[in-house]
Chains A and B, each alone.
Chain A
Amino acid sequence: MKSPLARLSPGDRALLWRHLRTPVLTFLALLGLLGVIVALGATQPFAQAWIVELAVVALMVALILLVSMEVRREPPLIRLFSGIGFFWVCIMIGMTLTDYLAR
């Protein structure tokens, strides 16, 4: 039995790749970044590994927001809305840590 991919015409296969290229490449990038976090978490090579881990997480979140959730392609109002959420989170974390870290 032929696989569904083999049954596609060359034109359809090109169309499919054009549509799926970005999701597949994003998935591979996220998988690679997760690999870095897991490797650092499992081996704990140095005391400041948490800084690298959190930087990689920030990169993963940015990839999901901008590419998977397509914020970069949305109109300005929706981009503003999604950015405001993270702005409020920064205020909440910043003000709370100002208290705890200054004690």
Chain B
Amino acid sequence: MSEGLAEGVGVARAHQFETVAQQRQAATLGIWAWLITELLLFSALFLVALITRIEHPEATVAAARHLKFWIGATNTVVLLCSSLTMSMAIEFSRMGWQRAMVRALLATAALGSLFLVLKAYEYYADWEEHMMPFLAHRPFALEETPAARLFVNLYYVATGLHALHLFTGIALLLGMTWMAAKAGFLARHQNWIEVYGLYWHFIDLVWILAFPILYVVNRGP
């Protein structure tokens, strides 16, 4: 959205667009097209989790109770905080407060990195508990309930894919922050911050679906 932009903040029109408003809309539409494909990818994984629960309820509950509920909850709070700092960066960019925007972008990257560190620790704790059924040399803790493998493998695919998106997002964010710190950035490319913000909020949205579907709902009988 372009309303409420401070003086000197805007977008340099590329020659293929008739107006800056058209250019802004094209960029937003483009990122939404990408986000929809991502939504379908993750939704298919969450649907498989649901089917695993319907087909193998006992095994799925046994596997879900091994997941690190409190680390998952803490990570959700971390991502919500990162969404707040991303929204702040967008607002600072609209206000033309470049320094504050750069700091908010760096805070977002730091919170994203904290999420990955906690996720790595969670995987390590899973490894310690023999909850990695795909490792041939390490016996699986729930060997007596073979269907639990399905849910645990799905958990790794879904959370691993989300972590990959987050890692890529942090790398892109740091690259963009480096460019955004230069003089004149907000006069030419303010909408980059808005478009990137949509991607970051979407990563947050995927985790907000993943946490209850994988960690919470299956804890109950």
B177-221 CB contact bits vs A (8 Å, 1 = yes)?
000000000000000000000100110110011011101110111
| Contact (Cβ within 8 A) A41 B87 | no
| Contact (Cβ within 8 A) A50 B39 | no
Hey, which chain B residues are within 8 Å of A69, CB to CB? 198, 201-202, 205
Hey, which chain A residues are within 8 Å of B35, CB to CB? 82, 85
- Among B88-96, B109-117, B122-130, B132-140, the stretch that binds chain A is B88-96
CA distance A34 to B198 in the complex (A): 21
| Contact (Cβ within 8 A) A70 B1 | yes
Kindly identify which residue among A65, A70, A81, A97 contacts B36, using a CB–CB cutoff of 8 Å.
Answer: A81
| Contact (Cβ within 8 A) B212 A53 | yes
Total number of A residues with any Cβ neighbor in B under 8 Å: 50
| Contact (Cβ within 8 A) B40 A89 | yes
Cβ distance B10 to chain A, nearest Cβ, rounded Å: 17
Kindly identify which residue among B29, B88, B198, B211 contacts A20, using a CB–CB cutoff of 8 Å.
Answer: B88
Total number of B residues with any Cβ neighbor in A under 8 Å: 50
Kindly identify which residue among B28, B40, B51 contacts A100, using a CB–CB cutoff of 8 Å.
Answer: B51
Hey, which chain B residues are within 8 Å of A85, CB to CB? 32, 35-36, 39-40
Cβ distance A103 to chain B, nearest Cβ, rounded Å: 9
With known contacts A23-B88, A34-B80, A49-B220, A64–B33 Cβ distance under 8 A = no
Hey, which chain B residues are within 8 Å of A38, CB to CB? 73, 216
> Any chain A CB within 8 A of the CB of B25?
yes
Chain B interface main SS type: helix
A16-60 CB contact bits vs B (8 Å, 1 = yes)?
100110111011001100100110111010010110011001001
B54-70 CB contact bits vs A (8 Å, 1 = yes)?
11000000000000010
CA distance A76 to B70 in the complex (A): 40
| Contact (Cβ within 8 A) B25 A75 | yes
CA distance A73 to B198 in the complex (A): 13
CA distance A73 to B47 in the complex (A): 30
Hey, which chain A residues are within 8 Å of B215, CB to CB? 41
Kindly identify which residue among B3, B4, B33, B208 contacts A61, using a CB–CB cutoff of 8 Å.
Answer: B208
> Any chain B CB within 8 A of the CB of A1?
no
Hey, which chain B residues are within 8 Å of A96, CB to CB? 47, 51
16 additional contacts, CB 8 Å, given A61-B208, A64-B83, A89-B43? A19-B94, A31-B80, A40-B216, A41-B73, A41-B215, A44-B220, A47-B220, A50-B217, A54-B217, A69-B198, A69-B201, A75-B25, A78-B25, A81-B29, A85-B39, A96-B51
Please report B residues at the A interface, Cβ cutoff 8 Å: 1, 3-4, 25, 28-29, 32-33, 35-36, 39-40, 43-44, 47, 50-51, 54-55, 69, 73, 76-77, 80-81, 83-84, 87-88, 91-92, 94-95, 100, 198, 201-202, 204-205, 208-209, 211-213, 215-217, 219-221
- Write 9 A-B pairs (CB below 8 A) sorted by A numbering: A26-B87, A27-B81, A30-B83, A53-B212, A60-B208, A64-B205, A65-B205, A73-B3, A97-B50
